[in-house]
Chains A and B, each alone.
Chain A
């Protein structure tokens, strides 16, 4: 049995998979903010799973991101190199909201008096210029203890090149304060840039006791239910899972624990249907998130920031994170008219309370969901399987304000709202694809979340992807995706060298050392040696450039021929991404080894559609607005009753309790053997 549990703001989703039969069961219970573990336990109870049978439990948690954004972490102290304690507050000194003279910088998570300096200094090669002053360290640790800190972070200049001083400092902290968790920056990341690395270490410290307490508590509950301790895993920002023990040491890796799981799910869907290139699109209530997967590999970035907005610098976290573009456009996004008379959608959302106007819970402003209702795309009597009856009149009343502003009718206004929302999502989709040099025609779009299936068909018409897939259970797809994860650890090291000046032996030595560490740590997590898979990349650029592209390194020993191959791959990738290549020397900046601990990927059960026919799946017809293709009487089908492998032609709407799929008149839809829906353009 594999079990995934995903905690969201409103619901805790559980998806369980019986590996012997391939059968999937789900449960949705209310999230219990006062005691999140209770929701997890409840959901297992509700799905009536036998906890003792669990071979692999994986958990997506918002505990870390919540502690950060709600500033509910612990009082944290920082020990750093003399002369540099203000680095954390100076940041990079940028003003992203460039015309706003009243801009307010991010406030550091550690105030100045808890940022302590000690004598020590390394140069960029990691050579010691000033030895670490142990008395300084002892004095500052005592000061911090006197101030009541509950966690300590240590970050010294150039520790990515030589961690010795951080390690020595850490030993003193442990000696003087064994109860205080200490984070050494190089343990989290060995990338350069002191502000970013310091901030990463500080945020890890800030959430450390909170995350540990949470995971300890959850572990006790789950083991108490009979779940084997070694089966317990948690989802990380890099799209892989880690054991509870590993997560407790470096909880900062859990920041994007939930959102990345959908991307992993999309990768697995791609494998099942034979598509290695996919674009995942998750449309929720408040935001839409998209990410591109090339050749079965999600894109990973270490330029991640929390609370980053166009007008706010945010806080960098240098841990590997699946590169997701998120925009404020979801079902609850509110439509409004700006000062200049332009129609806008989002980023403000009506959320779950009061929700869209059609919920009849007091929402008076028009949302994307209201527009979908007015366009005939959502069936007001079958929302959440009929649990909530939607009030079309409320949608129309709310949408009238938009109509008045443009002197048009409600239907036309609703279509305008959908067009703007789709255009916003399209910009995000293009950002991850076309604008990074990818041709969408090589990709399959996988849409999920509450609104994915409603918008997927419209978006694919402009994006021109091969096809669009609506998975099973689009509403709990993130939890489904978690079931498909492997254990994953990333190792990144900065070592800046020109490729024509590095010896193959040096490169091979470094990569071997990193690989050996990766294998060692994977085995420590209980992964058999033959189940460990390593991938190696390098961040490369032309000499003089700042930014890099990530080049996959050839397997095997790095020799002179391999160096030539690496150069060739870099030139080609740079040209693909940016349209040009140069004769300039090429520079290697970071080395990135990824270790996967392969756990057997579960089989997905085939659907039994014996006897299903299109005619019997048909529930009726409805007048639906298909934008520039006009109004059509669309045929309405019940998803579960569709036959397998038989294409139906739009205009059509496929309904299921948690989602609605729209099929345009120039598209066909087919249900496959797994129950996934495929939409394709009629050629």
Chain B
């Protein structure tokens, strides 16, 4: 096979736009097919996946993703495949897989990339690609990721850019290897076939474009889209003030020791480039919070897009002005065989570092700090009585978002790294797993997140164990260092997991990370997510908003008095304006 010849076509601009729309629709169809047929809840509920179409040269052209954390990750995998398998050897019906974190395509072993080259009239015209978090890829722990691994070999089966299908025929040996290395082979193989169905949907889309408009028009559309992406990024960049912006933060710990890790960024913006330099960040850690180059690039791309233009359809052209600098061997650029299984937690900090650095110049698009951590939770065990057998619940949690400069933060919403992600319905959860949810409610800790505009509320979800035992693994970041406030607004509260032993009311344990913690029948795991950061001073908050919060039982009259200097009658909920003015004056004097 050879690449489609680069001939100048007479494609008019409208046809280009129509093809561009068809490419986007095809990527979306791939996404829908994967979600509707997959076996892993983390694919169909969390939508922890991306699907897209990539040019023969390995440039991302169109993408549909369920979470920002997967933005622009597909082209790296295609380039990795192309390095190993020359384009001219590819045949229709070939399918490749990779999950190697230290090469182009991988992030952690659970994220498996599938690649299908699309051949039209004998020439390679593009690739259908998807990447999704499969619940089970083997390794030391059920659900594959854990907070206490020390090397990659404990984190599951490695697929270093291998061929799965040859001209449409499965390579049975490799499929057998996958099947025998995972705990829930039915689920994992189901995800694999769902992924392949998705690739075929993408292939159909490209072939129908070629049938109607020809491969040359497709090729021309791809280059035009890349050029347009770059133009848009440059135009948006020009609107930001040039200069240097810096930020530093502490990451809780690596899961093995208790020591915080410092990370930092220096952003340089000029007319035609955006450079993020992470030099000075902590070295790679013994625990599995490391990320590798792909995870770093994806995290930077994510916030770059969010701060510049959230609407423009993704393609690699948009990211051409973006440059990333980071020495090898840091927390963000770990080397084999460093453990990486909870890399996304660190990826979220990468985005948040840039987010905080850019906040002063992009506060129209960015709120202040939020719960940030996906608060990944695994509960696994065996349901002795029911028909459920061995079970593995894997899910993210939603939490409180930061205030903006003009409004309160959102309550109970999935973090920036998640997107069109659905938290599991309680009724579905209790049907599927031997758990009882005692409450699912707002976490209204005060004065966390107070301000002129307050942070959104986090959530509390209590899981009571109904089976004899169950094991809990959790990675709740921002346990030691809460979401940041700004402009005089308070920081938010902490994400945390509490264990309340059966027959007691008080937590026996409060932690940010747990690895296979053994729960027994009747124990409650209380999952608490943070209140977001506040913006502006609490004493400047409109008393009517304080009154509304009191009416909604989010704040007591006493808290309104202490934290906001607003006097509210506990019976009538009326605001005493005079007393409020007096209180606030006094509080301002005291604080200055």
Interface residues in chain A, defined as those with a beta carbon under 8 Å from any beta carbon in chain B: 82-87, 89-105, 111-113, 123-124, 129, 157-158, 160, 192-196, 339-344, 406, 415-416, 419-420, 423-424, 427, 430-431, 435, 462, 496, 498, 501, 542-547, 578-580, 582, 584
B264 close to chain A: CB less than 8 A: no
Interface of A is mostly: loop
The docked-state distance in angstroms from the alpha carbon of A545 to that of B189 is 12
Taking a contact as CB atoms closer than 8 A, the residue among B25, B196, B420 that contacts A427 in the complex is B25
**What residue in chain A is nearest B46 (Cβ atoms)?**
A94
User: Which chain A positions have C-beta within 8 A of B228?
Assistant: 340-342
User: Which chain A positions have C-beta within 8 A of B186?
Assistant: 543-544, 584
Contact call B414/A193, Cβ cutoff below 8 A: no
B218 close to chain A: CB less than 8 A: no
Contact call B428/A193, Cβ cutoff below 8 A: yes
Contact call A420/B412, Cβ cutoff below 8 A: no
Contact call A547/B44, Cβ cutoff below 8 A: yes
Taking a contact as CB atoms closer than 8 A, the residue among B32, B310, B422, B428 that contacts A99 in the complex is B310
Contact call B412/A93, Cβ cutoff below 8 A: yes
Contact call B427/A93, Cβ cutoff below 8 A: no
Which of B15-23, B104-112, B140-148 contacts its partner?
B15-23
| Chain B nearest CB, measured from A207 CB (Å) | 23
The docked-state distance in angstroms from the alpha carbon of A84 to that of B438 is 9
User: Which chain A positions have C-beta within 8 A of B35?
Assistant: 547
The docked-state distance in angstroms from the alpha carbon of A112 to that of B190 is 41
- Given the interface pairs A90-B459, A501-B387, the reply to whether A98 lies near B65 with Cβ below 8 Å is yes
The docked-state distance in angstroms from the alpha carbon of A490 to that of B553 is 39
Taking a contact as CB atoms closer than 8 A, the residue among B66, B193, B427 that contacts A580 in the complex is B193
Q: List 5 A-B contacts (CB under 8 A).
A: A98-B419, A102-B366, A158-B427, A341-B13, A546-B36
Chain B 401-436, CB-CB to A under 8 Å as 1, else 0, gives 000100000111110101111110111101100001
Closest 8 CB pairs of A and B: A98-B419, A83-B439, A93-B398, A99-B310, A544-B39, A112-B552, A90-B412, A416-B14
User: Which chain A positions have C-beta within 8 A of B29?
Assistant: 435
The docked-state distance in angstroms from the alpha carbon of A112 to that of B442 is 11
B68 close to chain A: CB less than 8 A: yes
The docked-state distance in angstroms from the alpha carbon of A92 to that of B424 is 7
The docked-state distance in angstroms from the alpha carbon of A82 to that of B582 is 39
Within 8 A of A (CB), among B424-465: 425-428, 430-431, 436-442, 459, 462
Contact call B387/A498, Cβ cutoff below 8 A: yes
- Given the interface pairs A112-B552, A420-B17, the reply to whether A93 lies near B421 with Cβ below 8 Å is yes
**What residue in chain A is nearest B442 (Cβ atoms)?**
A86
Taking a contact as CB atoms closer than 8 A, the residue among B193, B201, B364, B419 that contacts A94 in the complex is B419
**What residue in chain B is nearest A90 (Cβ atoms)?**
B412
User: Which chain A positions have C-beta within 8 A of B355?
Assistant: 101
- Given the interface pairs A84-B440, A123-B430, A423-B21, the reply to whether A98 lies near B68 with Cβ below 8 Å is yes
B537 close to chain A: CB less than 8 A: no
Interface centre among B37, B65, B367 (most CB of A within 10 A): B37
Chain B 150-166, CB-CB to A under 8 Å as 1, else 0, gives 00000000000000000
B45 close to chain A: CB less than 8 A: yes
**What residue in chain B is nearest A313 (Cβ atoms)?**
B420
Contact call B441/A86, Cβ cutoff below 8 A: yes
Taking a contact as CB atoms closer than 8 A, the residue among A87, A90, A111, A496 that contacts B398 in the complex is A90
Contact call B312/A340, Cβ cutoff below 8 A: yes
Taking a contact as CB atoms closer than 8 A, the residue among B14, B25, B38, B410 that contacts A104 in the complex is B410
| Chain B nearest CB, measured from A39 CB (Å) | 39
**What residue in chain A is nearest B70 (Cβ atoms)?**
A98
Interface residues in chain B, defined as those with a beta carbon under 8 Å from any beta carbon in chain A: 12-18, 20-22, 25, 29, 32-33, 35-41, 44-45, 65-68, 71, 186-187, 190, 193-194, 196-197, 200-201, 212, 228, 231-232, 235, 302, 305-306, 310-312, 355, 364-367, 387, 398, 404, 410-414, 416, 418-423, 425-428, 430-431, 436-442, 459, 462, 551-554
| Chain A nearest CB, measured from B509 CB (Å) | 22
The docked-state distance in angstroms from the alpha carbon of A332 to that of B524 is 58
- Given the interface pairs A86-B440, A95-B420, A580-B196, the reply to whether A496 lies near B431 with Cβ below 8 Å is yes
**What residue in chain A is nearest B45 (Cβ atoms)?**
A546
The docked-state distance in angstroms from the alpha carbon of A416 to that of B187 is 47
**What residue in chain B is nearest A191 (Cβ atoms)?**
B427
**What residue in chain A is nearest B418 (Cβ atoms)?**
A95
Contact call B44/A545, Cβ cutoff below 8 A: yes
User: Which chain A positions have C-beta within 8 A of B45?
Assistant: 546
User: Which chain A positions have C-beta within 8 A of B197?
Assistant: 578-580
User: Which chain A positions have C-beta within 8 A of B21?
Assistant: 423-424, 427
Taking a contact as CB atoms closer than 8 A, the residue among B310, B367, B425, B553 that contacts A112 in the complex is B553
Contact call A582/B193, Cβ cutoff below 8 A: yes
The docked-state distance in angstroms from the alpha carbon of A343 to that of B16 is 10
**What residue in chain B is nearest A497 (Cβ atoms)?**
B387
User: Which chain B positions have C-beta within 8 A of A196?
Assistant: 425
Taking a contact as CB atoms closer than 8 A, the residue among A83, A95, A416 that contacts B421 in the complex is A95
Contact call B387/A99, Cβ cutoff below 8 A: no
Contact call A547/B36, Cβ cutoff below 8 A: yes
| Chain B nearest CB, measured from A303 CB (Å) | 11
User: Which chain B positions have C-beta within 8 A of A341?
Assistant: 13, 228
Contact call B365/A102, Cβ cutoff below 8 A: yes
**What residue in chain B is nearest A83 (Cβ atoms)?**
B439
User: Which chain B positions have C-beta within 8 A of A431?
Assistant: 25
Contact call B440/A90, Cβ cutoff below 8 A: yes
Query: Given contacts A342-B228, A427-B21, could you give 10 more A-B pairs where the C-beta distance is less than 8 Å?
Result: A86-B440, A90-B442, A93-B414, A94-B414, A105-B413, A129-B436, A158-B430, A192-B425, A340-B228, A343-B13
Contact call A545/B38, Cβ cutoff below 8 A: yes
| Chain B nearest CB, measured from A440 CB (Å) | 12
The docked-state distance in angstroms from the alpha carbon of A239 to that of B25 is 29
User: Which chain B positions have C-beta within 8 A of A82?
Assistant: 439
- Given the interface pairs A545-B44, A578-B197, A582-B190, the reply to whether A94 lies near B422 with Cβ below 8 Å is yes
**What residue in chain A is nearest B66 (Cβ atoms)?**
A98
